[in-house]
Homo-oligomer: A and B are copies of this chain.
Amino acid sequence: MFVNNSQAQVFHANSEVREFDLHCEWSTLNEVVQLLQYHGPCSAEMHKPIFRRRRVRAGQTLFLMGQAFSGLYLIRHGNMKTAITHAEGSEHVMSFSMQGDVLGAEGVCQQHYGCQCSALLDCEVIRLPVDDSFFNDHSDDGVGRLLYWTISREVSRQQLAYAITHAAKSEIRVARFLIEQSERHATLGHSAKRFTLPMTRRDIGSYLNVTLETVSRALSSLNQLQIIDVANREIVIHSLDQLQAYEG
């Protein structure tokens, strides 16, 4: 949660690449717990800087599909997408992640990442190591439990995504997608009614399993019904009730 002036400039106004890339800071367990919104027991050593941070700029990848597992990544800020790449080369978006989300949970059991993760905007992530030495160091302070709680939450998230993308009609899928985005923004303390989408129509379509044109049409349709206001990636939800009632 701490950023000094020069870093902020580097990060947002895109000068000083070298400083950006070589930059390295550390996060505390306290920050991790807050980002995760975890309310379980934890160790007393909450303020030791033990978790390494890493920056990923828009368009760059955090890890690739099949790459050796090197721990979980927790998003400190920024937006990312995860996707699987099919044999034919086509990419399929699995999820859109934001602050507090964890990436790479499938790697714990497989030794390698099962999907590709790339940044939609400039991001900063915190690496959560998941290896023997880490466990030995934290055998009785609750950190282990935090980890499997975190992985379990990923299962829940995926179930939700599954439900969203399995609606009958494309307009309902888009409506649910907007509701999901709205709720997630609200959870982070931002406006539930007004936000900017960080991804392209193509990405949304890939996520919802429809074409980008269908996404565009669905948004235009919701716009004409006065339920939302769309201007490129700027979304204003006029009636969340109507959006939710849209199901049938």
Contact = CB atoms under 8 A, between A and B. Distances in A.
Given A152-B106, A166-B92, A247-B88, A159 B115 contact: yes
A155 B151 contact: yes
Query: Which among A86, A92, A145 has the highest number of chain B CB atoms within 10 Å?
Result: A145
A146 to B, nearest CB: 10
Given A108-B149, A152-B105, A92 B159 contact: no
A246 interface: no
B162 A158 contact: yes
A66 B162 CA distance: 17
Copies in the complex: 2
Interface size class of A (residues with CB under 8 A): 35 or more
Contacts of A105: 152, 155
**Taking chain A's interface residues, is the majority helix, strand, or loop, or is none over half, making it mixed?**
helix
Given A135-B145, A248-B88, A158 B159 contact: yes
A162 B248 contact: no
A154 B110 CA distance: 11
Interface in A89-135: 92, 94, 105-110, 114-115, 135
Interface string A71-100: 000000000000010111000101000000
